[in-house]
A and B are shown apart, each in its own frame.
Chain A
Amino acid sequence: MSIVFDNVVKIYGSVEALRGVSFRVGEGSMTGLLGPNGAGKTTTLKITVGLVRPTRGRVLVAGMDPLLEEHGVKSILGYLPERPVYPGFVSVRTLLRYLAKLRGLSSRYAERVARLAGLSKYMDSKINALSRGYLQRLGLAQALLGEPEILLLDEPTANLDPAARVEILGLIARLKEDLGATVVISSHILPELQQVVDHVILISKGRVVDYGPLEELARRYGVTVVFRVDTPAPRSLARRLIDLDSVKGVLIHDGWLEVHVEALASGELGGILEDLRGSGMVRGFKVKTGYLGELYEKAISSA
């Protein structure tokens, strides 16, 4: 297990931010930490890094206590904070080189993460001259130093325009592929998250409502996925698809179908559609509405 939370309580003065949070994040997974404002997402991530001391409970990161084995944990961890807390008075290069040095890395690595995050052109800019989008890239760049085994990203797409959002998410997905890291992303923007996560932790009012593989939760809450399938023969394709057990309904449009399928079977349907594309029955298809939003609503309201 990469991250284990065992009945973690965090009280800030009179605010109970976490009220007994328990979950596990498996190695190599891409986990969405989802919950409304004030649910405790940021607190959870800060506790994982060791920046916040839990009031009660046990936290293990790769088997280590973040407060007792500070170096052990921090050297395998990359953290993108929610608020851009970067010192405005230094240049991007200075900050990245200094942080690389803390990790015992040469300045070459500073250039490298800057390149990965698309920041190379701004290496000599003072940080307070960067736009929000570029601050977020700086956040990603510093989180990637030392190719961490575990990446914690607190709302990586907040405050970004739609194009930058797509780009940053694509970047995260690619990095995950390349590094094979365990990734935890906190967010409340669900549709875009669905493209990248395979596990979720649903948190609300300081409690974990549910957690596990996305598909398992999707099955448990009986949520569906909607596909848009472009086809030259809508009617005959609809007849074939409706025979599948997992398909809950098909709406026929002019030149395309809207297929409602059990979330769990969406992968299987994707395979079938892919085959049909070979035979010309299907021109193309894509997931139209995500099920993460529905899952989230159902889980949070059943809590």
Chain B
Amino acid sequence: MRRPSALRRLSLHRVMTHADYVSTHVVGRSLLVSIAAIAVIHAFGIVTMGVSSTSALASMLLAAGMLYAILAGLAVASMGDDLGQGYASLYLAHPLSRAEYFAAWMTAGPLVVLVAYLLSVAAPLIALNPSSMLDASVYLPVLCIAGQISFHTSVAVFSSILFKDKSKAILALLTVIIIAPTLVVFVGGLLASAIHTVDIMSLVAKIVGVFHPAVFYMPFTPRGGSASLSLAYGFGASLILYYLGYRFFKYRTDI
């Protein structure tokens, strides 16, 4: 007899019940309100800047994307404490499967943030100039940043599950978003001033891209980056991290 896959047995009702509980009581409304606030400011920023100056727009998209990623990361990092403090085992002793628990967190964190992000870009663009949505110089950066947000939240998800500890998950997230790229740029700068034979800074940009996949495409690579690399890496790495996190959680021996 073939068992239906875990995914097909997910109950939307239970996923939403838990996602609602998590976002209201565990993550906290304040974080969700911040995400909504950023979405609104972001949308206004796009309206005021217009879509004409694409490089200024790109910088703003990138900055906002970073904020989104940090907020989404903070939201899912709470999962670390949920697992570490044993609350998860209380919920999971009721008819909530491990897969549903995971899906609920994905809904309350990454999904909400990605939707907020995309809406905050799409809404003003549609209002201002719908045809700009079809312009690759507009939608490619947006998608690359979406990939980056997804990548950063997947780091928070994976490290929450791995460490079962919110602070450690946040530290891992900040390492990827801020600490590691800053170090790379700093060391790169030192090297660049000492060695002139190789183009250190373009190497630095590539390494920073490992932490911020959107950088593979924009805007620090004036010679034109690769959107496909940025998208493939951003979404690909996040899918892998989400998947590994899920497998690790599902087959972990002790919740």
Contacts and interface: CB of A to CB of B under 8 A. Distances in A.
Given A12-B254, A71-B9, A102-B14, A51 B89 contact: yes
Interface in A71-88: 71, 74-75, 77, 79, 81, 83, 85-87
Q: Which of B85, B89, B94, B251 has the most CB of A within 10 A?
A: B94
A102 B93 contact: no
B18 A102 contact: yes
Contact of B90 (A50, A68, A94, A142): A142
A168 B202 CA distance: 70
A51 B254 CA distance: 6
Interface in B1-23: 3, 9, 11, 13-14, 17-18, 21
B167 interface: no
Interface string A209-249: 00000000000000000000000000000000000000000
Contacts of A74: 92-97
Nearest to B87: A87
A145 B96 CA distance: 14
A72 B87 CA distance: 21
Interface string A57-73: 00000000000101100
Contacts of A83: 86
Nearest to B94: A102
B200 interface: no
Given A53-B254, A83-B86, A90 B94 contact: no
Contacts of A77: 93
B42 interface: no
Interface in B92-124: 92-98
A52 B254 contact: yes
Interface residues of B, number: 28
Interface string B59-72: 00000000000000
Contact of B3 (A68, A81, A94, A145): A68
Contacts of B89: 46, 51, 81, 85
Contact of B17 (A79, A98, A142): A98
Interface in B46-87: 85-87
Interface in B108-161: none
Nearest to B93: A79
Contacts of A104: 13, 95
Nearest to B253: A53
Given A49-B93, A51-B89, A70-B97, A102 B253 contact: no
Contacts of B17: 98, 101-102
B255 A51 contact: yes
A94 B25 contact: yes
Q: Which of A50, A81, A87, A142 has the most CB of B within 10 A?
A: A87
Interface in A29-65: 46, 49-53, 55
A86 B90 contact: yes
A85 B85 contact: yes
Contacts of A79: 93
Interface in B168-219: none
A267 B3 CA distance: 49
A49 B97 CA distance: 11
B91 interface: yes
A99 interface: yes
B93 A51 contact: yes
B95 A71 contact: yes
Contacts of A50: 92
A49 B252 CA distance: 15
Contacts of B13: 104
B28 to A, nearest CB: 9
A85 B90 contact: yes
B27 to A, nearest CB: 11
A85 B86 CA distance: 6
Nearest to B97: A70
Interface in A81-113: 81, 83, 85-87, 89-90, 94, 98-99, 101-104
A74 B93 CA distance: 6
Interface in A239-261: none
Contacts of B9: 71
A155 B105 CA distance: 31
A52 B95 contact: no
Given A71-B97, A90-B25, A94-B25, A102 B90 contact: no
B95 A102 contact: yes
A38 B18 CA distance: 33
Interface of B: 3, 9, 11, 13-14, 17-18, 21, 25-26, 85-87, 89-98, 251-255
Interface of A: 12, 46, 49-53, 55, 68, 70-71, 74-75, 77, 79, 81, 83, 85-87, 89-90, 94, 98-99, 101-104, 142, 145
22 contacts: A50-B92, A51-B93, A52-B254, A52-B255, A53-B252, A53-B254, A70-B95, A71-B95, A74-B96, A79-B93, A81-B86, A81-B89, A81-B93, A85-B85, A85-B86, A85-B90, A87-B87, A94-B25, A98-B17, A99-B91, A99-B94, A102-B18
